[in-house]
Amino acid sequence: MYEFDVIRPATISEAVEALADEDAQALGGGQTLIPTLKARLASPSALVSLSKVAEMIGICYDDQGRLCIGAATTHAAVARDTSYPALSAMAAHIGDPAVRNRGTIGGSLANNDPAACYPAGVLASNATITTNKREIAADDFFQGLFETALEEGEIVTEVKFTIPQAANYQKFIQPASRFALVGVFVAKFADGVRVAVTGASEEGVHRWTAAEEALSSEFTPEAIADLTVLSDTLISDAHAIADYRSHLVKVMTGRAVKAAG
């Protein structure tokens, strides 16, 4: 590690002010950033820790009945909350206890790792990502591998969920990292079903629209029996070839639908 300053703002406005320094970088739970610094793949002169910003910690409901999770809320805290069972169950199986007690929902979304769990949960749930500047629909937030709609100096402050009628997340774990080799989050709303896939594609988290159409008509595993997941843009690596990931997307989707009931 090299020498850098750590700034611990107490409010969102203080955090934004600290991040105005072009060489400063936001620090959530540090589960990705700290290893990146150790590997010398990044070298900011200052880290702006968001862990003490009270406005960004906690879980509540807003006046529209949406579940609101502060961006600095840890995976462990989300896992303990029972408001959205599918999301809580997903959070309970992220990484290991050390990761869950340090990692945050906001940090995960801002990083947008292509195999992370939260992007699938947020995208399938049609959640709204709130920043210090605006509100961003999940469909507009994720823009490719490690890419999001966040602008320079913009930080995620809260995530808002309308809880679906039924939902479930199924993850085929890559055992070395505990990231998703393939993960599928299915959410059923009154106006249709949303299916988000993580870990499988070179484009990062994405929706499987063919499955959404089929499941919106009939919410059973059999509804997707005749569908094929095209492997053109799926990842082939040492852990799984594209065709295997294609197979897993379909299997995990079916399991999620069955578990969601």
Per-residue pLDDT at 37: 67
Q: Could you say which DSSP state residue 151 is in?
A: P
Per-residue pLDDT at 194: 98
Digit-coded pLDDT (tens) for 134-193: 999 999 999 999 999 999 889 999 999 999 999 999 999 998 888 999 999 999 999 999
Nearest to 80 by CA among 58, 111, 50: 58
Digit-coded pLDDT (tens) for 63-113: 999 999 999 999 999 999 999 999 999 999 999 999 999 999 999 999 999
Give the Cα separation of 159 and 150 in Å (integer). Answer: 14
Task: Domain ranges for the chain, please list them.
Answer: 5-161, 166-260
Give mean pLDDT, residues 208-228.
Answer: 97
Digit-coded pLDDT (tens) for 38-47: 767 677 778 8
pTM: 0.95
Residue 210 pLDDT class (50, 70, 90 cuts): very high
SS3 category, 248: helix
In the numeric block, which tokens belong to residue 58?
């906690």
Q: Does domain 166-260 have CATH number 2.40.340.10?
A: no
**Cβ atoms of residues 183 and 113 within 8 Å:** no
Residue 108: CB atoms within 10 A of its CB come to 25
Does residue 2 carry a pLDDT above 70?
no
Report, at the CATH architecture level, how domain 5-161 is classified.
Answer: 2-Layer Sandwich (3.30)
